[in-house]
């Protein structure tokens, strides 16, 4: 295959689960209508409440999760791959959840699961976040073979840890659903996304939250699709919307042949 059409969806999720799901469904339907074969929802697409514990209350096992069933039904109906940004999955730690990316195939089957490895912590005096209070970290790096190449999972803060994306097999695509803060996003979001694309000669697919949420939180948005040369192919700056692009896989193979940096690595990255 020489190309694939991909959409990254941007939302401004609030504290109404039903409203958020309705908005997400509308974006997924729009993406499918515009020819997307793979669509990525952002982190926390289902809920961005003032109290983080409201998400923990929705945590459930992957075998019996109403939000996962919602996404599976849509994938099956639309006939596309869906990355359900993140969903809250049960944790062995009381009062906590796993913040997990779930990949669903066009038949509605769960294809892969990734639990966020790196938990965000940030404190300036005016802003403070500590995901470890309500989340348990994942334990594994996860890749999944798509019909068009290997997808490597990451979530939001994972973007700051390049070693996650350097482990073999070299990913052809990097998925990064996020709810980046406006403060850190303004400084580093595009810089880090483009760096991950260039150093891995991979397509980076970043679906984000982009606006004001309950509790005074503001996210940066700027969902984007980036090619292996670091060029931004499509972008949504702020607010709700989608960015869509046809990825040239033949061009990726060509640039990897012309600049075989992935085969020139001398330092092994440990687990």
Q: Hey, which residues are catalytic here?
A: 43, 116, 156
Coil, strand or helix at 244: strand
Q: Per-residue b/e over 193-231, b at no fewer than 16 CB within 10 Å?
A: bbbbbbebbbbbbbbbbbbebeeebbbbbbbbbbbbeee
Q: Which two tokens stand for residue 79?
A: 């006939």
Query: 175, 154 in Cβ contact below 8 A?
Result: yes
State whether the Cα torsion 122-125-126-130 is positive or negative. Answer: positive
From the list 2, 16, 90, the residue with the least C-alpha distance to 50 is: 16
- Cα(207)–Cα(115) distance, integer angstroms: 17
Query: 241, 211 in Cβ contact below 8 A?
Result: no
State whether the Cα torsion 51-121-159-62 is positive or negative. Answer: negative
Largest CA distance in the chain: 51
């Amino acid at each position: 295959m020489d190309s694939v059409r991909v959409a990254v969806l941007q939302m401004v999720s609030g504290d109404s689960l039903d409203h958020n799901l309705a908005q997400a469904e509308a974006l997924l339907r729009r993406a499918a209508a515009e020819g997307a074969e793979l669509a990525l929802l952002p982190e926390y697409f289902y809920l961005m409440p003032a109290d983080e514990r409201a998400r923990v209350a929705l945590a459930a096992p992957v075998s019996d999760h109403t939000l996962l069933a919602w996404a599976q039904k849509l994938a099956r109906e639309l006939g596309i791959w869906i990355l359900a940004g993140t969903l809250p999955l049960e944790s062995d730690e009381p009062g906590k959840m796993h913040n997990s990316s779930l990949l669903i195939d066009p038949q509605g089957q769960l294809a892969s699961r990734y639990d966020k490895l790196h938990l965000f912590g940030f404190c300036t005096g005016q802003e403070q976040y500590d995901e470890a209070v309500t989340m348990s970290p994942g334990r594994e790096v996860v890749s999944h073979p798509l019909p068009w190449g290997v997808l490597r999972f990451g979530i939001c803060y994972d973007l700051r840890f390049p070693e996650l994306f350097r482990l073999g097999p070299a990913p052809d695509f990097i998925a990064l659903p996020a709810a980046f803060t406006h403060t850190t996003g303004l400084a580093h979001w595009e810089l880090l996304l483009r760096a991950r694309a260039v150093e891995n000669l991979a397509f980076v697919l970043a679906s984000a939250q982009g606006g004001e949420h309950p509790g005074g939180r503001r996210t940066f948005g700027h969902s984007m699709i980036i090619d292996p040369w670091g060029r931004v192919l499509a972008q949504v700056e702020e607010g709700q919307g989608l960015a869509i692009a046809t990825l040239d896989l033949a061009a990726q193979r060509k640039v990897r042949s012309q600049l075989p940096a992935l085969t020139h690595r001398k330092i092994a990255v440990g687990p």
